[in-house]
Structures are given as C-alpha cells and as structure tokens.
Structure 1
Amino acid sequence: MTRLTGRALRLTVFVGESDTWHHKPLYSEIVHRAHAAGLAGASVFRGVEGFGASSLIHTSRLLSLSEDLPVAVVIVDTEPRVRAFLPQLDELVTEGLVTLDDCEVILPQSRLRSTGGTPTTGREDTPGETDAKGKRSL
C-alpha cells in the first residue's frame, strides 16, 4: 500500500466538463493516466460556477443551466513524480489551466496510532503491512 506524508506537490488541472479526449471525458482520461503512472491520488471536482479564458460564465443555476461546468482535477504526489507526469498533460490539455502548488500531506492522528508510527517524509511502499489485529494499514 502506498503512503505519502510530508512535502508534496499538488497539480490542479482546470478544464470544462464537456472537454473530451477520443470521445471520453478529458477529466476521466487524466485520472486514468495518473493512476497508470502510479501517482498517489487524483480527484475530480465539479464546479458550481466559473469562467476561463473565454470570459463566458458557466453556472449550474437552474435558470441559466450550462452543459459545460468547470471541472478541477487535483493530483498530489512527490514533486519528481508529478513533474514526470506533466508531459502527458501537454498532450491532453489544449485549453484550460494547469497549476502547481507546494503542499504538505499529513495523516490524521488516529491513522498514525493505528499504524503504530510517526509521520515520515516522502513516499513509502509497504505492501501487506498489517496491524496487531491483522488489519491492513493505509
């Protein structure tokens, strides 16, 4: 199981909900490629309202329902792993915005107690690690 704590890089990709890659949603292709690249995690967030370079406001309000709401794909991993993934985005994202932010990943104290550990820096791969009750730790 992969565990990431300490310094990390957050990659955020802002695209439109209707943007596609080979007839699939673009946000889905980004998530699947991040997974295939072995990155620590990726999530997609659908926006309620927003605008981009076109200056056209997209909103989910009923009276002005948009079919192209803003979507943010957020990926977090170590800096070298995120930067190694950027060339794939060059191929996929032709419109939109890509940002990078330094961040710190922490585990809730309850998870630290359940694993019997303390925070570590960097990425650890610990397949099959179990606690005293035989449960797998994350």
Structure 2
Amino acid sequence: MKGLVGKRKLLRIFISLDDKFKGKPLWEYILRMVKEEGLAGATVFKAAAGIGAHSELRTFTVWRLAQDLPVVIEIIDSEEKIKPFLEKLDQVIEEGLVVLEDVEVISYRHRKGE
C-alpha cells in the first residue's frame, strides 16, 4: 500500500488497561473504531509501568490478579482521516492523554495476496 508513504500524522493514545467503554476494554473499542473508520491500522502496546494523570505509579506485580497497566495505542494515517477520528475518540475517552505529531512514512508493506 504505497498510498500511506509520505507525510502523515501519528496519533498516540495513552489510557489504562482497565479503562472500559460500553462494558468492553477501551483499547479494544478504539481498535474497532479504527477499523470502522477505515484508518490504515493501529497498534496497542501494554506497558510494564507508568505514572498517569494522578501521579500514581502503575506497575506489573506478579502477586496481583488484576493489572491496571498503561496502554498506548498508535495510529498512523493522513491528517484528513485522523482529524474526524479525533472528534469521535473524544467521546469515548474519560481519562487519558492523546497526542498528535507529524511523521514521515518511509515504507508500508504487506504480504502479497493478503
């Protein structure tokens, strides 16, 4: 898909693994939104530790069953597709951080036949 190569926007969303929207994990709900909006794709990263909006240290502990860990979702696409997505995203994030930055996509490839 050569259409993604060039100057693009990187949308980075910082939320918690425990965040929910309509009873589903928020990160999963956002991925479904990405698909519905036809964005190029998204990647979800679960962090080992972080300090969030309330300056609370959140880290992995083997002794806890529930892990309230930081999650980062990255989405890269054109500004024309990202800007309308931001408006919809604003309706589902109760607490978190959203940043947008300029990037240059050098290469975007996928296997033939897929």
Q: Deviations over 1:84-132 (max 9, x none)?
A: 1011111001100000010011117xx6xxxxxxxxxxxxxxxxxxxxx
> Partner of 2:71: helix, strand, or coil?
strand
Q: Percent identity?
A: 40
Q: d(CA) in 1 for partners of 2:77 and 2:34?
A: 10
Distance 2:40 2:77 in 1: 5
User: Unpaired segments of 5 or more residues in structure 1?
Assistant: 112-134
Residue of structure 2 equivalent to 1:24: 24
| Off by >4 Å, runs of 4+ in structure 1 | 63-66
Aligned to 2:78: 78
Shift of 1:62: 3.0
RMSD of aligned C-alpha atoms?
2.3
Q: Point out where structure 2 has 5 or more consecutive residues left out of the alignment.
A: none
| Matched positions, count | 113
Return 30-39 or 63-72, whichever deviates more: 63-72
User: Per-residue deviation at 1:46?
Assistant: 0.2
- Residue 37 (str. 1) matches residue 37 (str. 2): yes
Amino acid at match of 1:104: E
Aligned to 2:103: 103
The equivalences for 1:1-138 within 5 A come to: 3-62=3-62, 67-107=67-107, 135-136=112-113
Distance 1:106 1:94 in 2: 34
**Matched AA of 1:29:** Y
User: Given the two structures, how large is their TM-score scaled by the length of structure 2?
Assistant: 0.88
Which structure has more relative contact order (CA 8 Å, sep 6+)? It is 2
TM-score under structure 1 length normalisation: 0.74
